[in-house]
């Protein structure tokens, strides 16, 4: 049985899972884009069944519904950590890289920044 692992020390080593071409601004708000990127990233990594398990866990344990993820990012992060442990930051980084790519921006990891911090910076920009 082969074990797969992603290097987590260097954020540039994490692959960008390109979802689609950039989404034009008229295609939705930052919050709408975030929900789509989270959903697509989880589906690409865990397939639909696995993503549904994650959403069910988040709703039952963290009281975060799929459609509320963009407004409850800290609870989303905490729920991912509870469910996935040390894998949660890797998933969050992939979501952020995908979101930044969708917005035509380059994701640059910053020491001491968490998932919600990056999203807050994006909200201030857009």
pLDDT single digits (tens) 87-106? 999 999 999 999 999 999 99
Kindly state the average pLDDT of the residues 6-34. 58
**Of the CATH numbers 3.40.50.1110, 1.10.1200.200, 1.10.287.3510, 3.65.10.10, which one belongs to the domain with range 29-125?**
1.10.1200.200
Do residues 70 and 34 touch, judged by C-beta distance below 8 A? yes
The full set of domain ranges for the chain reads 29-125
- Which DSSP state fits 86? G
DSSP annotation string for 49-112: HHHHHHHHHHHHHH---GGGGGG-HHHHHHHHHHHHGGGHHHHHHHHHHHHHHHTT------TT
Which has the higher per-residue pLDDT, 24 or 79? 79
pLDDT single digits (tens) 38-82? 999 999 999 999 999 999 999 999 999 999 999 999 999 999 999
pLDDT single digits (tens) 106-120? 999 999 999 999 999
Give the span between the Cα atoms of 100 and 5, in whole angstroms. Answer: 23
Selection from 64, 48, 45 nearest residue 56 by Cα:
64
Q: What pTM was computed for the model?
A: 0.79
Q: What angle, rounded to 10 degrees, do the helices at 88-102 and 115-125 form?
A: 20
């Amino acid at each position: 049985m082969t074990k797969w692992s992603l290097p987590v020390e260097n954020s540039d080593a994490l692959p960008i899972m390109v979802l689609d071409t950039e989404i034009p601004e008229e295609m939705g708000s930052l919050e709408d884009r975030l929900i789509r990127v989270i959903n697509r990233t989880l589906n690409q990594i865990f397939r639909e069944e696995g993503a549904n398990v994650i959403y069910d866990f988040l709703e039952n344990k963290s009281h975060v519904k799929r459609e509320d993820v963009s407004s409850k990012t800290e609870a989303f992060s905490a729920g991912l950590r509870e469910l996935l442990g040390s894998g949660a930051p890797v998933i969050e980084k992939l979501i952020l890289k995908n979101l930044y790519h969708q917005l035509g921006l380059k994701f640059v990891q910053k020491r001491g920044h968490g998932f919600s911090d990056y999203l807050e910076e994006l909200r201030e920009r857009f």
